[in-house]
A and B are shown apart, each in its own frame.
Chain A
Amino acid sequence: MNTVKQLSRGRFLLDRGASLPLLLPATLLVLVFLVGPFGYMAYTAMTDLSYANPDQNGAFIGLDNFRQLVRNDPVFWDSFWLTIRFVVASVTVEFALGFALAWLIWRFIERQRLLTTLLLVPMMLAPVAVGLIWRLLLQGDFGMVSYYLRAVGLLSQQSAVFSTPYLVMPTIIAIDVWQWTPFVTLIILAGLMSLPKAPFEAATMDGAGPWRQFIDIMLPLLRPIIALVLLLRGIDAFKEFDKVFILTGGGPGTVSELLSIYAYRVNFKNWNLGYGATVAFMVYLVVLILCSIFYKAVYWKSPVGKV
């Protein structure tokens, strides 16, 4: 209350006049270099622009591309639903495993710094490198992981993961889990560390067992952080490109053709940029909706997340 009053009296360090020059460079940079290209993309989505076909020279066609995409493009919709399944499966597994690991570390390990740092290695590597590393490890003839999968009988001698269509998506999900579970662990661990002690002590006095305490106290207290983790992972998983592109290129057939792979093909293989921009715009819309939920749910309502 005190600070608000001072602020209104203008004695505070920042007044309106001082704010503007501080805020302007960042806002301008983002406006020019991100919103600019984005606007160009949005406009392109309403044209027939193609770098391949000389007959499509960028004429304005309104919402034709969107109509085509929604009504007439089974490949887009297959990719869309595949992407949704990928996001749900990988984020669920990452969350379950990540939560369990965080709990184990919180409950049993006192000196956590080295352990958590080492756990972070997979997610800190360049995405290009991650794709190549797994290509080498899972190669069917000389891949180290392929060899041990066969040795322990998880993979038959006469098969290989990326040549067995029904194993391809589970494998890609497993690699995503390898890469991103530590992210969940780290953040949930931070949440666990910041839990207040009092509610648990009171519950113990009331005779509530560990399971009840977990369900009734811990989960509700962690809810904002859980929502945050799920949404951040969800947004990233929705955009997944590098690993799948290097590992399978969307195949065999179309079993791993995620939306981003489809967008790549339309833009960079077929150079059908008007339509490619339409695909991109739809992806952006979906992520925007996810993001808005994230912002409302986490930043405005939660005591932990409030900044």
Chain B
Amino acid sequence: MIEVRNLVKKYGDHLAVDHLDFKIEAGRIYGFLGPNGAGKSTTMNIMTGYLGATEGEVLIDGHDILREPEEAKRHIGYLPEQPPLYMDMTVREYLEFAAELKGLRKKQRSGEIEEVEKLVKIKDVEHRLIKNLSKGYRQRVGLAQAVLGFPEIIILDEPSVGLDPKQIIEIRELIRKLAKNHTVILSSHILAEVREVCDYIMIISKGKLVASDTPENLERMLGQNNIVEIETKTSPAEVRRILKNVPGIEMIETQPEENGIIKGSIREKKGEDIRESVFRAFASAGIPLLTLKVSGTSLEDVFMELTQRDALPSAFAKNTGWKELIPEEDEAVGTAEDGHAPDDPAEKAEKTDTEDIAETGEEADRDAGDI
């Protein structure tokens, strides 16, 4: 359906897209995931023919976007990051313009416009000027423009940015509805969204495709061993002393909380279940456990892992299945959690840490808005 081969985009010396290679099959929802500035929008702009690539090619249904632009663009509906709306037109006028621009036949136009208006629920605002619409409605009008003519591929760049929670849910439903007959590609820096909507995730970092798989597989790739989280009322040293003799523990991290509570995360060795022995250990020491629960590796960890580090975990090196590489993967995870890779200069480790914090904060904000 879409084939992207060795795509490179340079802005001066800055490498925005770094040798991207992927294929997109018909009938699925694909998610581009990556932090801001990872090259998602640039990639989408190149795929839709808005920008030219420095190297590489994009084939849409076998048509090169540069050599046969008109034929290739006919298969694509595109909603850019900022919806391309003419503020001085009414919704209806705008959609009629879009339909004509896309070369829809005159007889089909009004029927298709009606259909799309109903689909994205903008029928009741069709005679209002776009400049008087709220952000959510503008986004829908932009979406209507992309869907108009029902092209085979619909590319949406951050479709839910700036929408309220209800609208986000509506737009997700709409995307799922569209996916029944179309291939949908969307980009986002919100994990929850991508995980919920997409069948297939491509994680992009610094212009490189660092991972591409289904959400479940991605979670499995990193997360073979669980983390047990505990909360207790004692000192960190005491926690370590109590747990010293419990078998099956790989690593312990502690963190003091308010009211003298210590939060600890214990990483299990693979295949072990340490919950019971942890409980007994604390019980025999006479120290109350306030919380004891298992938290698996989430997609969020995968995302952080992949986008925050300079080097890729080896499991994600191209053309390798995750199964053979799990042992090495464990090491990689361990060092990342420690924050000090043995060979890394202290400087580098520090830098990664601060980035981690900044990014976590932002993600948390986004997710909060999401809920």
Q: Is B one of A's binding partners?
A: no
**Chain A contact residues, CB within 8 Å of chain B:** none
